[in-house]
């Protein structure tokens, strides 16, 4: 097993612990124990599919490879940072602050850009929740990135391979996510009408 005792923990979930890469501060490693790695196996398979399809890693972290030994398996990927090289807040954290009208407008535009990206490239989320989305405020725009919970959860993941099934799943998950989590904080606004 990699010696993770001195690795900095930057996130923790039910199955995985996310560490700052020990040799590259622009990357992270999400590690699972082999016996509890269902999500990791799904995401590894899905990242490889996205690479083969040449999907740009615009609104999801770039995938660099697999980390594995007899006890753990993990994903090496881009560490999403803001312009100050800090980990940006999740949507949940971002929505706790009082937003100016301009911040709110840019946030909605960032959500819309993410939705359009998912639909355009058939990037299927399995777990669209506020903690899996980071909000990156830049000088003239706000990006929202999906950092976790990728890939269809079905035994036979047809939405990943059949675009119209993928788009239907994305639309369903997006509508549920917006209705239950984001829209209660705002009044309804226009979104991506294309695709």
- What is the assigned CATH class of domain 9-78? alpha beta
Residue 9: closest CA among 24, 36, 30: 30
Residue 107: closest CA among 115, 125, 175: 115
* Helix or strand (DSSP H, E) at 168: helix 163-177
Alpha carbon of residue 133 to chain centroid: 6
Residue 114: closest CA among 170, 184, 168: 170
Rounded mean pLDDT for each run of 10 residues along the chain, 195 residues in total: 81 90 94 93 95 97 94 95 93 92 94 97 94 94 95 90 95 95 66 42
- The whole-number pLDDT of residue 194 equals 38
Residue 118's Cβ-side half-sphere holds a number of Cα atoms within 13 Å equal to 31
| Domains of the chain, residue spans | 9-78, 91-185
* Helix or strand (DSSP H, E) at 167: helix 163-177
Say what the pTM is: 0.89
**pLDDT tens readout for residues 63-113:** 999 999 889 999 999 999 999 999 999 999 999 988 999 999 999 999 999
Q: String of b and e for 79-97 (b: at least 16 CB within 10 Å)? A: bbeeeeeebbbbbeebbee
């Amino acid at each position: 097993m990699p010696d993770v005792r001195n690795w900095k923990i930057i996130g923790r979930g039910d199955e995985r612990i996310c560490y700052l890469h020990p040799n590259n501060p622009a990357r992270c490693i999400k590690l699972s124990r082999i016996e509890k790695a269902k999500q990791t196996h799904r995401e590894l398979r899905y990242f490889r599919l996205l690479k083969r399809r040449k999907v740009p890693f615009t609104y999801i972290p770039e995938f660099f490879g697999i980390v594995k030994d007899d006890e753990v398996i993990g994903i090496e990927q881009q560490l999403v940072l803001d312009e100050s090289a800090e980990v940006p807040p999740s949507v949940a954290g971002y929505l706790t602050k009082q937003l100016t009208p301009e911040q709110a407008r840019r946030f909605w535009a960032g959500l819309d850009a993410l939705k359009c990206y998912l639909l355009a490239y058939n990037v299927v989320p399995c777990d669209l929740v506020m903690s899996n989305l980071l909000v990156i405020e830049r000088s003239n725009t706000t990006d929202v990135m999906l950092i976790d919970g990728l890939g269809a959860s079905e035994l036979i993941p047809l939405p990943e391979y059949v675009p119209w099934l993928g788009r239907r799943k994305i639309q369903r998950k997006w509508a549920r996510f917006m209705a239950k989590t984001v829209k209660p904080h705002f009044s309804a606004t226009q979104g991506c009408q294309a695709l």
